[in-house]
Amino acid sequence: MNTIILKTASKYLLPLLLLFSVFILLRGHYLPGGGFVGGLVAAIAFVLHAFANGLPETQRLMRIHPGFLMPVGLAIAFLSGIFPMLFDLPFMTGMWKKDPIPVIGSLGSALFFDIGVYLVVIGSSLTILFTISETK
């Protein structure tokens, strides 16, 4: 799709949507949202950009292959589960910092787990979409 409107819009929409996806991710613990939806929104942001500017442009923008986000996300999620075991608590026990941090809210192992989910969702959905649209 080669329209100037979409191209221009996507330039501004991409950062906005990404910001929005992080917002959804962070608010997930108190209000509707979470890593899964956030990840999907971020994926859609990139897909929109790819539609407007072509896949190579988006890939150049991303610098890394989206597939790399999957192991990173899995590692973060898994480590957040392992972390309590250092304190001799069972795997995936929720651990929280006492005082909430501004903007982010209360910081806990569940948040890192959600970040892992977020990354895996972006990575896998973009891998699937990019691979399919690349294949001739």
Partner 1 sequence: MQLSGLIITLIFTFISLFILALALPSARVNSRRSALSFLVPFSAFCVFAFATPSTEQVISLWESNSLPFNISFKYDGLAKLFSLLITGIGTLIFLYASAYMKNTKYTQRLLSFLLLFMGAMLGVVLSDNLLVLFLFWELTSISSFFLIGFKNEDDASQKSALQALSITGLGGLAMLGGFILIGEMAQTYSISQMLSHTDLILEHPWFVPALLLILLGAFTKSAQFPFHFWLPGAMKAPTPVSAYLHSATMVKAGVYLLARLNPIFSQSELWFILLTSFGGLTMLYAAFQSLYKTDMKAILAYTTVSALGVMVFLIGMGGEQAIVAVSLFILVHALYKAAFFMLAGTIDHETGTRDIRKLSGLGKSLPILFGIGMLAAWSNGGIPPSIGFVGKDLIYESTLNFQKFSYAPYILTAISWLTNSMLFAAGLLVGYLPFRKSSAPSHPDVHKPSLMLWLPPALLATMGIVFGVFPILVEGSIVNPVATAIAGVSIKTHLVLWHGFNTVLYISLATLSAGLILYLFFQKKTPNWVTVAEKYGPRQALHGIANSFISFSAWFTKTMQNGKLRLYLLVILSVLGSLLGYVVLRETTFVIDPQKLSEITIYEGITVGILITSIFLTLFSGSRLAAVAAMGVVGYTLCIIFVFYSAPDLAMTQFTIDTLTVILFVLVLYRLPRFIRLDFSPRHILDGVVAIGIGALMSIISLEVLHRSPVREISDFYAMNSYLLAKGKNVVNVILVDFRGADTLIEIVVLSIAAIGVYSLLKLRLRKNEKME
What would you report as the CA-atom Rg of the chain, rounded to the nearest whole angstrom?
A: 17
Shortest distance, position 71 Cβ to partner 1, whole Å: 8
Shortest distance, position 4 Cβ to partner 1, whole Å: 21
Q: Would you say 30 and 20 are in contact if contact means Cβ atoms under 8 Å apart?
A: no
Q: Which is nearer to partner 1, 7 or 110 (CB)?
A: 110
60 CA to centre of own chain: 18
Joined tokens for residue 111 = 């948040």
Exposure string over 26-40, b if 16+ CB within 10 A, otherwise e: bebeeeebbbbbbbb
Shortest distance, position 11 Cβ to partner 1, whole Å: 20
Residues in contact with partner 1 by CB under 8 A are 24, 28-37, 40-41, 43-44, 47, 67, 70-71, 73-74, 77-78, 81, 85, 88-92, 94, 96, 106, 108, 110, 113-114, 116-117, 120-121, 123-125, 127-129, 131-133, 135
C-alpha 59/C-alpha 42 separation (Å) is: 14
Q: Which is nearer to partner 1, 6 or 129 (CB)?
A: 129
Shortest distance, position 117 Cβ to partner 1, whole Å: 6
